[in-house]
Amino acid sequence: MDHRYSTFSWAVAVGIVLSAAASSTGQTPASGASAAANKSGSSSTSWKAPRTADGRPDLGGVWTNNNITPLERPKQWQGKAVLTEQELAELKQLAAGVVEGGDDAIFGDNLVLLALERKKNATSRDGCAGRAVTEECATSGNYNAFWLPTRDFHNPRTSLVIDPADGRIPALTPEAQQRAKAAAEHRRLHPADGPEDRPFGERCLAFGVPRLQAAYMSYMQLFQTTTHVGILNELGYETRIVPVDGAAHIGGSIRQWKGDSRGRWEGDTLVVETTNFPQKGAFMNATDALRLVERFTRVSPDILNYEVTINDPKTWEKPWTILIPLKRSSDQVYEFACHEGNHGMAGILAGARAEERALTQSSEGSTP
Amino acid sequence: MPSRKRRRPRLIGVAMAAIAVVSAVSVGAVIGRSQAARPSTAQPDLPNLNGIWQALNEANFDLEPHPARAAMSLRQDQPYNVTTNIPSPPVVALGAVGSVPGGIGVVDGGSIPYRPEALVKKRDNQKNWLERDPEIKCYLPGVPRATYMPYPFQIVQSPTSMMFLYEYAGAVRTISFKDPGPPPVDSWMGQSVGRWEGQTLVIDVTGFNDQTWFDRAGNFHSDKLHVTERYTRLTNEHLMYEAIIEDPEVFTRPWKITMPLYRRMEKNASLVEFRCVEFVEELLYGQLRKKPLAN
């Protein structure tokens, strides 16, 4: 049941914002960008980023994460951190086969995972989030491929996670395992008793910092001044304004969905430290102990490396780091009026009440 | 695989070169041509609007001149010999906190030039404020209302682009300095295209839906709304804000509001997150709970 609720809500909530895109012209994928030319994670020695008037690298503009790269390294790539150009080309072919002739939206990491399984004309697995893939949850019927952008293959790495070296997120602490277990049990018993039982994103409260999922409104627009950097994420239309003038963090009693960010320059890298997250955060079940260090570095004309170290000792056994080579985009970032169009929430709750009534009636009917 | 289909490519400056970090020294500099005609390098002669600003007036209660009243929502029947109307039952408990401070108004000429049928709707809106004001539901505020709600907003200004972040609901606008063409889709905050006229930042805002209001008094517009905003830096601590409002479906002529905006002067002044969505879930969805809460 879960997946039907959640996808229904999403479709309605975002449909309003993006419906106009139906008549739009297609975006041409960047051409000629080979893995080697755009090699991520390493800075070319000859290239120097354009500067602002105050001499900082100019980070302004729209950047996207439409990479194929999965968050964690799949078992098929165990022991392999980087793909060769030929392997990337093969992956691209396999990925094209996954959606060949099909019109289903393959979200997030599922595309690369299906490609590695050499699946053809696959249906999405977005109903299987956090569960074993079964035929039931692997069906779709909610989103089609129209909603997703063309994937990029410029990142040769086999996972976004670059630390630990195995490309896998460190183990959950016993406390976090307990939390996850309790949360799963709560979801099972109370899937939609009230709005609080639904995920934060479905409620249009927050989509979490940092943003790791590719290819679904994964656009970031940066605005840069001497004293502040504005970071606007299209998904959720959430904005952070990061002082880079040495201002102190706000008080510890003020907890925010997006935390409280403070920036500084380390050479040509913008370093942003974020604290003040809520006890129950929107990022991967992290807590108020979450501390992020984001590092923004331009490494080539079209690539902005976005490296994030995630540290929450209440949730993971040790800190972990991801690297996403964001790509410059000529796209426009659109308003995401999530809450305003969230007819899905009323539909989810009303649907759950209707199911309960039907269950009551059928059990009454079967009682002699 | 399909592309993310977009109406048109975004126009990005080759280099969003440095901010117009205009020091006090350059404020008096003579400004000539418009932004569009300038190279996208540092523009030290443009006014620096960076900072946290806030209106300090009663405009969000009612743009027009109005005396103080007991509440936004008033009883339609007035059974007693009262000198002021009695609040409607749902807001009685708020007492003086729920009352409306009087204001001298911010509309040039005093009143808003409604078409007759639109004035009827405005009055109906006001009577049904509790059900209709989008602010109550934490919906995005639109322009110009975002400017004078009782929350600060922050401007992040670079020479080629600019962002306004409003504390209320985390509403945000990006201001483009190259005309991206007609808005591809209606939105709550509209499409903002900026230019400089001398020392004044002028923003054309179009592409609105018809869902936002101008205040808590039921003043409204259609999706034909066109707002021309003018931000003029008076001192380091003051901006003068004007908004010309055109909407031939609702008003007989364009009209204008004018008000100063003030810099928030606190040390470490900062917007504090105001994601009000969660605050209104009980209002919007409470009756759909498995166990609705008792009153």
pLDDT digits (tens, 9 = 90+) for A124-158: 776 676 667 776 676 655 677 777 888 999 999 99
Work out the minimum CA distance from A100 to partner chain B, whole angstroms. 8
Backbone φ and ψ of A285, nearest 5°:
60, 25
| 3-class secondary-structure state, position A261 | strand
pLDDT tens digits, A189-234: 999 999 999 999 999 999 999 999 998 899 999 999 999 999 999 9
Q: Is residue A89 predicted with pLDDT exceeding 90?
A: yes
- Cβ atoms < 10 Å from Cβ of A356: 13
Task: Say yes or no for a CB contact (<8 Å) between B185 and A24.
Answer: no
Counting other chains too, the contacts that A92-98 makes at CB distance below 8 Å and 24 or more residues apart are A92/A68, A92/A153, A94/A118, A95/A68, A95/A151, A95/A153, A95/B1, A96/B1, A97/A121, A98/A122
Q: How far apart are CA B125 and CA B131, in angstroms?
A: 9
pTM above 0.90, yes or no: no
**With contacts defined as CB-CB under 8 Å, which chain B residues touch A58?**
15-18
Task: Say yes or no for a CB contact (<8 Å) between B3 and A21.
Answer: no
Q: How far apart are CA B173 and CA B193, in angstroms?
A: 10
Chain centre to alpha carbon of residue A62: 16
Looking at chain B, which residue has its C-alpha nearest residue A96? Answer: B1
Give me the average pLDDT of each 10-residue run along chain B (295 residues).
Answer: 36 30 32 35 74 98 97 91 91 97 97 98 97 98 98 92 96 93 95 95 98 98 98 96 98 98 94 97 98 91
Task: Say yes or no for a CB contact (<8 Å) between A205 and B277.
Answer: yes
Task: Say yes or no for a CB contact (<8 Å) between A21 and B6.
Answer: yes
Tallying the residues shown for chain A, one arrives at 368
What is the average pLDDT across A256-261? 97
Q: How far apart are CA A184 and CA A152, in angstroms?
A: 34
Please name the residues in contact with A58: beta carbons below 8 A apart, sequence gap of 6 or more.
A49, A50, A51, A52, A224, A298, B15, B16, B17, B18
Largest CA distance in chain B: 72
Instruction: Give the closest of B2, B156, B289 to A193, CB-based.
Output: B289
Q: Where are the strands (E) in chain B, listed by range?
A: 51-55, 153-157, 161-166, 172-176, 191-197, 200-206, 226-235, 238-246, 255-263
Work out the minimum CA distance from A230 to partner chain B, whole angstroms. 7
Q: How far apart are CA B136 and CA B73, in angstroms?
A: 12
Task: Say yes or no for a CB contact (<8 Å) between A339 and B50.
Answer: no
Instruction: Give the closest of B160, B161, B290 to A194, CB-based.
Output: B290
Q: Is residue A31 predicted with pLDDT exceeding 50?
A: no
| pLDDT given at position B70 | 96
**With contacts defined as CB-CB under 8 Å, which chain B residues touch A250?**
268, 270, 272
| pLDDT given at position B209 | 98
Q: Is residue A367 predicted with pLDDT exceeding 60?
A: no
Chain centre to alpha carbon of residue A230: 19
Nearest to A313 by CA among A167, A171, A130: A171
Q: Indicate the range of A43-52, A253-262, A300-309, B163-172 predicted with least confidence.
A: A43-52
Instruction: Give the closest of A225, A335, A350 to B21, CB-based.
Output: A225
B94 DSSP 8-state letter: G
CA dist list (Å): A84 to A81, A300, B287: 10, 20, 57
| pLDDT given at position A338 | 96
Q: How far apart are CA A65 and CA A212, in angstroms?
A: 8
Nearest to A167 by CA among A64, A82, A101: A82
Q: Where are the strands (E) in B102-237, listed by range?
A: 153-157, 161-166, 172-176, 191-197, 200-206, 226-235
CA dist list (Å): A57 to A54, A283, B284: 9, 29, 46
- Decide: A52 and A223 in contact? Cβ < 8 Å: no
What is the average pLDDT across A103-126? 83
**With contacts defined as CB-CB under 8 Å, which chain A residues touch B15?**
50, 58
Q: Looking at the structure, give the CATH architecture of the domain made up of residues B46-66+107-264+271-288.
A: Beta Barrel (2.40)
| pLDDT given at position B5 | 40
Q: Is residue A37 predicted with pLDDT exceeding 50?
A: no
Q: Where are the domains of chain A?
A: 2-20+32-348
Largest CA distance in chain A: 84
**With contacts defined as CB-CB under 8 Å, which chain A residues touch B268?**
247-248, 250
- Decide: B239 and B214 in contact? Cβ < 8 Å: no
Instruction: Give the closest of B156, B271, B281 to A195, CB-based.
Output: B281
| 3-class secondary-structure state, position A95 | helix
Q: Which residue has the tokens 């020294």?
A: B25
Looking at chain B, which residue has its C-alpha nearest residue A247? Answer: B268
Residue of A5, A203, A222, A237 to mutate when probing chain B, most B C-beta within 10 A: A237
Structure tokens at A150: 């063309």
Instruction: Give the closest of B3, B170, B271 to A26, CB-based.
Output: B3
**With contacts defined as CB-CB under 8 Å, which chain A residues touch B288?**
194, 346, 349-350, 353
Task: Say yes or no for a CB contact (<8 Å) between B277 and A17.
Answer: no
Residue of A65, A335, A338 to mutate when probing chain B, most B C-beta within 10 A: A335
- Cβ atoms < 10 Å from Cβ of B241: 20
Q: Where are the domains of chain B?
A: 46-66+107-264+271-288
Rg (CA), chain A: 21
| pLDDT given at position B44 | 61
| pLDDT given at position B280 | 98
Residue of B5, B43, B274 to mutate when probing chain A, most A C-beta within 10 A: B5
Sign of the torsion angle spanned by Cα atoms A15, A17, A20, A21: negative
More confident residue, B133 or A12: B133
Q: How far apart are CA A362 and CA A360, in angstroms?
A: 6
pLDDT tens digits, A54-81: 999 999 999 999 999 999 999 999 999 9
Q: How far apart are CA A322 and CA A362, in angstroms?
A: 51
Task: Say yes or no for a CB contact (<8 Å) between A54 and B18.
Answer: yes
| 3-class secondary-structure state, position A161 | strand
**Please, what is the average pLDDT of chain A?**
85
Instruction: Give the closest of B9, B21, B277 to A339, CB-based.
Output: B277
Instruction: Give the closest of B10, B174, B285 to A349, CB-based.
Output: B285
More confident residue, A24 or B95: B95
